[in-house]
Amino acid sequence: MPGALIKKLTITPLGNFIGAQVEGLDFSEPIPDDVAAELRAALHEHGVLVARATNVTDETMIALGKKWGPLDNVLAHIKAGRRMRFEHLPEIFDVSNLDPDGNIITKDDPVRTSSKRGNTLWHADGAYNPRRSGISIIRAVELPPKGTGGQTEFLDSRTAYEDLPDSKKEKIKSYVGMNTLLWNRRLANPDMPEFDLDFTKVPLSKHPIAQIHEPTGRGNLYIGSYNHHIEGLSIEEGRRITDELLEHVTQEKYKFTVHWEQAGDIAFWDNTAVLHRAAVGEYGEKYRRDMRRISTFDDSKWAWGANDPATAKQVGLT
């Protein structure tokens, strides 16, 4: 059939609603365009894909991501003063528990501790930016011993949206969430006074909380720990509604967990269809967990939310 994808991958659903295993990916050669397109289509359908024991590298992960659009990068964070392990590869987001010198982060490093803790709260990558993230790829380079935590958890925010009563969908359809990375840091680090801020005065990015997932036409609930309040409502009312929606979407039935098995395992997810977080665990300050991520910028019509691309700036934090 003209235009149809040539089937080169095996996709096996794993979870209740989201999550599937992908087999047939070979990173020893550049991923061909038709395979990248097939992978992207599967990702939009299943929300999360997992491939085991691949031979992916930082460079091949970046090359695949670039086939799906421009990549987000850490340049704004570097500009804000953060040291990175991979300054030569600014497309790589270091989501390990390691400092720039490769040592395990301890509480003596409050900057990295606050960021690591923030990762354990539900979010969609880049929601705090004016142009949000689309697809993320995470790669396991070094894992803590099994049973010590560090798995990656996902929520099916499309089915959660669809399950809302019609009256609720009607109520939230025009709500715009006001997002900041600092609210995630505040929630995750109540012991750090530097995040005790007036959140009406920090820069906020605006993204509607009820959206259409463009590739599938399904509804999606776009909320998480960056979402501080809702435009036009009182802070209290915005928080109440956000918390109520978070309670709904975090129900066990919407959850899918990736248990990391070995180096070379990778997961792909669609930030415009699922939420995610890193599970906490005793590995924390004891065992090395080296995970690296890249993210594309979303290219749907929802990418910029209610933000003005002409004046927008990517957010950077130390």
Residue numbers of the site for Fe ion (CB under 5 A)?
Answer: 125
| Nearest distance from C-beta of residue 240 to Fe ion, angstroms | 25
Choose between 94 and 125: whose C-beta lies nearer to Fe ion: 125
| Nearest distance from C-beta of residue 152 to Fe ion, angstroms | 9
- C-alpha 116/C-alpha 184 separation (Å) is 11
Q: How many CB atoms lie within 10 A of CB 64?
A: 24
Q: Which residue is nearest to Fe ion (CB)?
A: 125
| Nearest distance from C-beta of residue 278 to Fe ion, angstroms | 8
- Rounded to an integer, what is the distance from CA 5 to the centroid of its chain? 27
Choose between 38 and 125: whose C-beta lies nearer to Fe ion: 125
- C-alpha 120/C-alpha 290 separation (Å) is 15
Choose between 95 and 204: whose C-beta lies nearer to Fe ion: 95
Name residue 165's amino acid: P
Choose between 11 and 228: whose C-beta lies nearer to Fe ion: 228
The two most distant CA atoms of the chain are separated, in Å, by 61
Q: How many CB atoms lie within 10 A of CB 7?
A: 11
Tokens representing 48 are 């999360």
Burial class of residue 174 (count of CB atoms within 10 Å of its CB; 0-12, 13-18, 19+) = exposed
Gyration radius of the chain's alpha carbons = 19
| Nearest distance from C-beta of residue 277 to Fe ion, angstroms | 7
Choose between 210 and 267: whose C-beta lies nearer to Fe ion: 267
Choose between 91 and 125: whose C-beta lies nearer to Fe ion: 125
Residue 29 makes CB contacts below 8 A (sequence gap 6+) with none
| Nearest distance from C-beta of residue 185 to Fe ion, angstroms | 13
| Nearest distance from C-beta of residue 253 to Fe ion, angstroms | 22
Compute the residue count for the chain: 318
| Nearest distance from C-beta of residue 265 to Fe ion, angstroms | 17
Choose between 211 and 271: whose C-beta lies nearer to Fe ion: 271
Choose between 164 and 180: whose C-beta lies nearer to Fe ion: 180
- C-alpha 265/C-alpha 238 separation (Å) is 39
| Nearest distance from C-beta of residue 126 to Fe ion, angstroms | 9
Q: 211 by DSSP, 3-state: which?
A: strand
- C-alpha 318/C-alpha 159 separation (Å) is 36
CA distances from 24 to 51, 65, 106 (A): 9, 17, 39
- C-alpha 136/C-alpha 271 separation (Å) is 7
